[in-house]
Each structure stands twice: as C-alpha cells, then as structure tokens.
Structure 1
Amino acid sequence: MALSYKDYIANGQAKDFAVPFSFIHDEDIKVFVDGKRQERKINNKVVTLSAAPEANLIVRVKRETPLHERTVDFYDGSILSEENLDQANEQLFFVAQEVLDYSEGLLKMKEWSLQCFK
C-alpha cells in the first residue's frame, strides 16, 4: 500500500479527489492524469481539477516533499517549539515514505520486466 500517493480511476465526471495522507504545505501535493501533471486547487485535503478527466484515466494524487531544503531551520539560543520539532521530523518521515514508495515501484517494474523477458 502506497504511503505518499493515491491512484483513482476517473469516471469522466469527478473533478474532486481526496488527499488521504498528511502533508506539510499545499505546494507539496501534485496531481497527474495519465502521467501528465495538472493544475489544481486544494482545500481541506481535497484537490480540485479545472476539468473532469476522461473516464478510465488514472488520476494520481501525490505528495512530493522538498528534499533540498529544510522546512525548519534552528538557530543557537532559539526556543525549540513542539510545532517546529514536529514539522522538522514530519519532513524526514514524509521523505522516507516517498523514497519507500518509489523503491517499491522500481522493484515491481523489475519483477514485471523479468517476467516479460523470460
């Protein structure tokens, strides 16, 4: 079971798709329809596309936590708040989940290719 994305099969009418996992910033949520990135709005853990995708296309709602910058930067003498500590740890936790999902996807692709070319 994926931890950082959810796939939906479009029905040709729905434009709204739930985000069933946690994230830090709205910008971390990306939506892909048939592999192509889509513009979206997000409100209360629901993404809304400008148009309903065609029926039977795969809609992937995915979290992409920034890897190259920290969400929290600590300074000597600053007060450590629970909110800052939680957010820093969430970033690491989310990145670990995303790497796990990515590596499991690669393993599935490898298994599939080995079966196809026997």
Structure 2
Amino acid sequence: MILKGCDVNWMDAFGGAITVCNTEGIIVYMNDFSIRQFEKYGGEKLLGTNLLDCHPEPSKTKLREMLATPIENTYTTKKNGVTKVVTQKPWMEKGEFCGVVELSFELPSAIENHIRS
C-alpha cells in the first residue's frame, strides 16, 4: 500500500546511509545519504567499485566472509563524539543470496531501551 503524499523511493530520503553490494562486493546502490557520507572517498563514483578495495583488515576479512555466506553483522562505532549503529544484512531475493545491504545511522546521545516481555 502506498500512503498518500509519501514517496515510493523512501531510501533516498532515509536519514542514514544505505549501501548495497552484490556477491562480488561491487557497490550497486548508494542512497543520497551514503553518497554524501562517502564523498571524501569518491561519493557517487564509488558505484561500480569493489568494497573489498575500500576496507582495511579486519573489516576486509569480515566482508569476504559475508560475501561467501549470507550472515549478518551489526555493531556500533564512535568517532568525533558521534555514535552510529551499522547493520549489514544479506540481500536475499526469492531465496537467492544477491549481496549485502548496509544501513548506517547516528544514534541520539541519550537513547531509551525498552525491555518487552
């Protein structure tokens, strides 16, 4: 269902980076936020390049593992006082592994944790 007044291409308006690579590690999609986030590394020119060339160890080994087997990887990182959550999930279509989707976004300085039962 499409809600009235909402843009179908919500990914470009998402308040965080969405970066997608295929099973070879080739970047096939970057939303606008991702392009801006990686501007100093080439921004939009990164499309079509290999993520393995962009990562040092041990990240490169983890990425190789994720490209070989559809597994998830989620972590937080802090740089210049900004905490981000990064989650990398398998891109699956009709049961076939197509690559990896990475979502990265800032966390507020104070965040609530709700424990549900």
Higher RCO structure (Cα 8 Å, ≥6 apart): 1
User: What TM-score do you get using the length of structure 2 for normalisation?
Assistant: 0.30
* The structure with more radius of gyration: 1
User: What TM-score do you get using the length of structure 1 for normalisation?
Assistant: 0.30
Q: More strand per residue: 1 or 2? A: 2
